[in-house]
Amino acid sequence: MTLGYYLVKFGDSRKAFSLQETTLPALSEGFARINVEAFGLNFADVMARNGKYRDAPSLPFIPGYDIVGIVEEVHHPDKQYLVGKRVAGFCRFWGYAKQAATPVEALVEIGDMNADDALSLCTQGVTASYMVDFLSESRQGQTALVHAAAGGVGSLILQLLQLKGIRTIAKVRSNEKAETLKKINPTYTLISSSGSYGDEVRSLLNGKKLIAVFNAVGGATIKQDLQLLDSGGVLFLFGGASLLKAKLGLLSLLNFVRKTGFFSPIPLMMKSKAIVGVNMLKVADHNPTMLTYHLNYCFTLYRNGHLAPLPAKRYHHTQLAEAHEWLESGKSTGKITIYWEDLL
């Protein structure tokens, strides 16, 4: 038996979760069981809590995508050395529990590494690395736009782009968020809380266009981004944060789709532009070696001093509702981490 936070109701975070004892399923071949020290929040968790994440299981279920802890058991003949090791891991739900199981390929040894940083490099780091890997070194000197640049994924995208010599426009909503990016030092920082930012981006580009856009917002921003994109450019879509504002059920969803637009491949082909949708759960399900590669790549860059997550905001597990509220508010920066033991 173990303890875990079940999502039992959609909506208000203070009513959505229930801490319950639960029976651990039998460990599958190729999996490891981890005694969890801390777990991370991701925006997909907020979407799931609001009933707007299609890949979430039916209620009730235990959410959570990334964990840090000690390996208790391994069901793999060649990975027994992991028992007793402290690891970080990417899991397919079940992260909000004191014990979790995940494939051994989704784990990386971390020794005494800071758990906040390790959690930042799991779901968020892997997502950022997977997308930036699409862009070759030939893009050096060109410019990419990063929405929600002070978030956990956005701040890592900025750094990975810089490693490739790509100039960056970090789009944030406030001066406070811009301040958090000073150490990362993006080429430009665009502070814009309005829905229209195209003219500001064009002014920064001085007649040129973008080679890539990283968009976790969706909705009307997609049309603007495509207009700003150069031939040969790529628009990466990895979230739909604007859908959270929709309060009218199906009508709001249809309005979200309307604002997003319907895209024929013909204009994209004629203008040599691409749209890449990113869902790391699907990538992990169908190409686990890709997940393993990017997980290890992020931790290697971190250890070599080339990738540094923004400072995380820590919560005790009894503050899970408050942590969700903070992430949903749009005011957060970096990673939000939840600890089972008392914070020092």
Give yes or no: residues 148 and 172 share one domain.
yes
Cross-strand partners of 35 = 70, 99
Please enumerate, as own/partner, the contacts of 261-270 that have beta carbons within 8 Å and a separation of 24 or more. 261/222, 261/223
Last residue of a domain, one of 264, 281, 298: 281
**Amino acid letter for position 19:** L
**Number of domains making up the chain:** 2
Judge if 82 and 149 occupy the same domain.
Answer: no
Is residue 121 within 8 Å of 307, Cβ to Cβ?
A: yes
For residues 338 and 163, give the distance between their C-alpha atoms in angstroms, rounded to a whole number: 30
| Segment 47-106, tens digit of pLDDT | 999 998 988 999 999 999 999 999 999 999 999 999 999 999 999 899 999 999 999 999
The reported pLDDT for the residue numbered 29 is 96
Instruction: Say what the pTM is.
Output: 0.92
- Residue 60: which CATH number? 3.90.180.10
Tell me the C-alpha distance between 239 and 217, whole Å.
6
Q: Where are the beta strands (DSSP E) in 136-206?
A: 143-146, 167-172, 188-191
User: What CATH number should be reported for the domain holding residue 201?
Assistant: 3.40.50.720
330, 257: one domain: no
How many angstroms separate the CA atoms of 216 and 111, rounded? Answer: 32
In this structure, are 276 and 169 located in the same domain? yes
Residue 107 located in a structural domain: yes
Tell me: the pLDDT tens digits for 99-126?
999 999 999 999 999 999 999 999 999 9
Q: Is 36 contained in some domain?
A: yes
pLDDT, residue 192, reads 86
Q: Choose the final residue of a domain: 243, 266, 281.
A: 281
Say if residue 110 is in the same domain as residue 11.
yes
Q: What does pLDDT average to in each consecutive run of 10 residues of the chain (344 residues)?
A: 96 97 91 97 95 92 97 96 97 94 96 98 97 93 97 97 97 95 97 85 94 91 93 91 57 50 70 91 90 97 97 97 96 97 70
**Do 161 and 275 reside in the same domain of the chain?**
yes
Q: 276 by DSSP, 3-state: which?
A: strand
In contact, 252 and 212? CB cutoff 8 Å: no
Q: Let me know if residue 300 belongs to a domain.
A: no
pLDDT of residue 248: 46
The verdict on 323 and 235 lying in the same domain is: no
C-alpha span between 214 and 150 (Å, rounded): 13
The residue type at 118: A
Task: Check whether residue 157 and residue 270 sit in a common domain.
Answer: yes
Q: Is residue 188 part of a domain?
A: yes
- Give the pLDDT score at 150: 97
Please name which of 95, 110, 104 lies closest in space to residue 292, comparing C-alpha atoms: 104
Question: Cα separations (Å) of 3 from 18, 36, 46, 150, 190?
Answer: 10, 11, 21, 33, 43
What is the identity of the amino acid at 189? T
Give the tokens for residue 83: 């028992």
- 232 found inside a domain: yes
Strand order in the sheet with 229-237: 188-191, 167-172, 143-146, 210-215, 229-237, 274-277
Question: Would you say residue 25 lies in a domain?
Answer: yes
Contacts of 340 (CB under 8 A, 6+ apart): 36, 37, 38, 98, 317
Quick one: 40 and 151 in the same domain? Answer: no
Q: What Rg value do the Cα atoms of the chain yield, rounded?
A: 20
Strand pairing category for 188-191 and 229-237: unpaired
pLDDT given for residue 219 in this prediction: 81
Question: Do residue 146 and residue 229 come from a single domain?
Answer: yes
- For residue 291, is it within any domain? no
Q: Which residue is it, tokens 């862009």?
A: 135
**DSSP-assigned beta bridge partners for residue 167:** 143
276 and 138 within one domain: yes
Dist CA 115 CA 245 (whole Å): 32
- Which helix (H) or strand (E) segment holds residue 132: the answer is helix 123-132
| Cα–Cα distance, 186 to 184 (Å, whole number) | 6
DSSP state of 40: E
267, 242: one domain? yes
Task: Find the domain containing 55 and state its range.
Answer: 2-121+309-339
Quote the Cα angle for 315-334-193, to 5°: 115
CA-to-CA distance for 230 and 210, rounded, in angstroms? 5
Please indicate, yes or no, if residue 15 is contained in any of the structural domains: yes
How far is 173 from 195, CA to CA, in rounded Å? 11
